[in-house]
Amino acid sequence: MRKRRILISIGIFVVAVAIATVGGSFYMLDYSLGYEHKPGDLRGDTESAYAELYRRVPDMKPWCDSLLQRGLIRDTFVMMPTGERHHAIYLRNDSAKGRTAVVVHGYTDNCVKFMYLGRMYHRDLGYNILMPDLHAHGKSEGEEIQMGWPARLDASRGPEGAEDLSRDSVAPSRVVVHGVSMGAATTMCVSGEELPDYVEAFVEDCGYTSVWDEFRGELKAQFSLPPFPLLYTASALCKLKYGWSFGEASPLRQVAKCHRPMLFIHGDADTYVPFAMMQPLYDAKPQPKQMWVAKGSKHADAYLDHREEYTATVREFLGD
């Protein structure tokens, strides 16, 4: 009888752990990839994104206001193979001669929040700029965040859009893809795909090695939990629900397939996407490549802390 009670207790415990793990996996997937708004989630709110942009970079307001009043910031929409409409903003530079920068935003943001990098390329470097809203962000349709993996196939259409928009240029198009945080991961994932020859270079700013590595760190930082079993079951659930797993979403593997120039940027005070991720990414990338460390900068603050040096580093890397 006692043995039976022990076995029943063990069985109940195992079932309870299994239920808790499955429930936790659904919660983790919804928390990290779902569309439920969390504090700081700006992806669907353009007005708040402009307000946050002006709060972080006050001198952006006169520049943006001037362009908006003159109708120079152009909204573009692309129909994706899935039937979803994806949005981007485009700003032409008459002196660009076909040079276009595709600037990719970060996690739960939209393209507006990173207009300061658009300004760097447009005003300081003389490029046209194309700034897409990734799947389920900004004015782009979609239900779940894709962490740069399925989104790499969407983002790879960005250079095509840049080519279409600048065809009236006097010189052949030349495209650089520049992303920050999740946008940097997207940029690196794009770099490993087959791309047109006019996509000449990539700039990744504080991107992660893989979704697995990033979620493992956040699971520990936010919830003090080890990766097993929750990360494993959540990854399997992601595979079932969305068609990809945390492990296969790997910028590290993608950059190893890229033979075009790439500039790696990371703040050495970054703990959200740990600075330690920069070196393995850099090591995995074949030449040509370049690295720049933003001293004292936290996550995604490299440009804001070091505007002149950041701009000069990108200019030198691009040979402009």
The better pLDDT of the pair 240, 157 is held by: 240
Main-chain dihedrals φ then ψ at residue 66, nearest 5 degrees: -60, -45
* Number of structural domains the chain divides into: 2
CA angle 139, 266, 148 (to 5 degrees): 35
In this structure, is residue 39 part of a structural domain? Answer: no
Do 129 and 24 share a structural domain?
no
Do 233 and 163 share a structural domain?
no
Nearest to 211 by CA among 193, 191, 229, 234: 234
Domain span holding position 16: 1-34+211-245
Do 54 and 6 share a structural domain?
no
Q: What are the tens digits of pLDDT across the range 188-222? A: 999 999 999 999 999 999 999 999 999 999 999 99
| Percent of the chain clearing pLDDT 90 (strictly above) | 71
Domain final residue, candidates 225, 245, 265: 245
- Give me the pLDDT at residue 39, please: 65
Contact 202/261 with Cβ under 8 angstroms?
A: yes
In this structure, is residue 191 part of a structural domain? Answer: yes
Model confidence, pTM: 0.92
Q: Is the pLDDT of residue 16 over 50?
A: no
Q: What are the tens digits of pLDDT across the range 51-68? A: 999 999 999 999 999 999
Do 301 and 241 share a structural domain?
no
Can you tell me which residue has the tokens 């076909």? Answer: 98
Element at 316 (helix H, strand E):
helix 307-318
Do 196 and 308 share a structural domain?
yes
Do 94 and 130 share a structural domain?
yes
Nearest to 78 by CA among 68, 88, 69, 70: 88
Q: What is the mean pLDDT of residues 8-36?
A: 68
Do 308 and 294 share a structural domain?
yes
CATH number of the domain to which 291 belongs: 3.40.50.1820
Position 27 confidence tier, pLDDT thresholds 50, 70, 90: confident
Max Cα–Cα distance, the chain, nearest Å: 88
In this structure, is residue 52 part of a structural domain? Answer: yes
In this structure, is residue 40 part of a structural domain? Answer: no
Do 216 and 206 share a structural domain?
no
**Which range (49-58, 144-153, 163-172, 301-310) has the least confidence?**
163-172
The better pLDDT of the pair 19, 244 is held by: 244
Contact 178/121 with Cβ under 8 angstroms?
A: yes
